[in-house]
Amino acid sequence: MNGAQSAGRVIVLLGSPGVGKGTQGIRLSGAMGWAHVSTGDLLRAALKAGTALGLEARKFMDAGELVPDEVMVDLVREHLAAMGSDRGVVFDGFPRTVPQAEALGAVLAEEGRQVDQVVLLEADAEVLVRRISGRRSSPSGRVYNVHFDPPRRPGFCDDTGEPLIHRADDQPETVRTRLSVYREATAPLVGYYDARGVLVRVDGEGDIGEVQAALREAVGVARGATATGA
């Protein structure tokens, strides 16, 4: 919890599907030289690569349900071990349940680390639905929004030129399931982290730049700061 010590910091972005955790997490981690760990991206990569993990996860993802905790914890543990502990990390989409939060605390403690800050991004339900319905993803991992953050050439990624995808789990019925799974399984993490004194709330309704500025202020990194140790 020391603002002067950025290396090795662990930040969790919490919030409903569609609130902007991915967009904001990529920007924050990119600016600070921290790792961005999106478990949804890790699962989609496993699926694309056709691994056993990807195939197992698929049925849950397509239905908008959560992949079992043990699978997720193993995935994150392996990912962290491969990364080394001196780099800051922004988690996006993990933890999503109280057992996952407990396991993350234990894995970090083995490295002498802890969750330093949890940022709850908040937005009205109407905003969430508009954001999710406009979302288009590049196979590269970059996410656009046809309303708020469109690609230069409609339908194609600015970086790689690949066609953009409307994720199967961004279709309306699955979105409803994901929102109710969030309320039941993930929202209890607000109380969990609040009780540990690490929760901070950020208004996620502004445009991308406004939310990013508020997020950086919340985690104590100056706007424009880019160094890992800043």
Q: Which stretch binds ligand AMP (CB under 6 A): 6-14, 65-73, 202-210, 218-226?
A: 65-73
| C-beta neighbour count of 3 within 10 angstroms | 13
Q: Between the CA of residue 193 and those of 11, 42, 66, 166, what are the distances in Å?
A: 12, 24, 20, 33
Q: How many Cα atoms sit within 13 Å of 14 on the Cβ side?
A: 30
| Shortest Å, Cβ 185 to ligand AMP | 8
Three-state DSSP at 201 gives: strand
Round to whole Å and give the CA distance between 133 and 145: 8
9 included as an active-site residue? no
| Shortest Å, Cβ 44 to ligand AMP | 7
Contact 96, 13 (CB under 8 A): no
Candidates 13, 15, 24, 94; binder of ligand AMP (CB under 6 A) is: 94
Catalytic residue (choose from 9, 113, 131, 135): 135
| Shortest Å, Cβ 93 to ligand AMP | 3
**Residues in touch with ligand AMP (CB under 6 A):** 17, 39-40, 43, 60-61, 64-67, 72, 93-94, 96, 100, 169, 178
Catalytic residues: 21, 96, 135, 167, 178
